[in-house]
Amino acid sequence: QVQLVESGGGLVQAGGSLGLSCAASGNFFSINGMGWYRQAPGKQRELVAGITSGGNTNYADSVKGRFTISRDNAKNTVYLQMNTLKPEDTAVYYCNAGIRIASWGTYNNYWGQGTQVTVSS
């Protein structure tokens, strides 16, 4: 069974930094794109940052210049380094990955369990 296991997150003051990581575990053939989404109370889930298998990245305008996404393909892990955090970054952050179970299969979407990030003012 494929799982995305997140770690990191927590409480930090505005202007501080936090790092998130997400590792894919289980039996699978390959991982395509990986990314981080977030959902604040009363709001829709939104894309924060994404990274392709080749390392191309994209970011939400609200986090450009502050957040950095990276991945270690050997460890099947994606990271999100968050700097200069703001109270509006407070949300549950979810890891996402396109994973193919077998070489003949298609990529399916998998989600982590979510981790809370709270930024105090």
Query: What average pLDDT is seen over the chain?
Result: 97
Taking residues 55-71, what's their average pLDDT? Answer: 98
Work out the number of other CB atoms within 10 angstroms of the CB of residue 16: 13
pLDDT by residue (tens digit) across 30-39?
999 999 999 9
Token digits of residue 78? 């994606």
Task: For residue 49, name the pLDDT band (cuts at 50, 70, 90).
Answer: very high
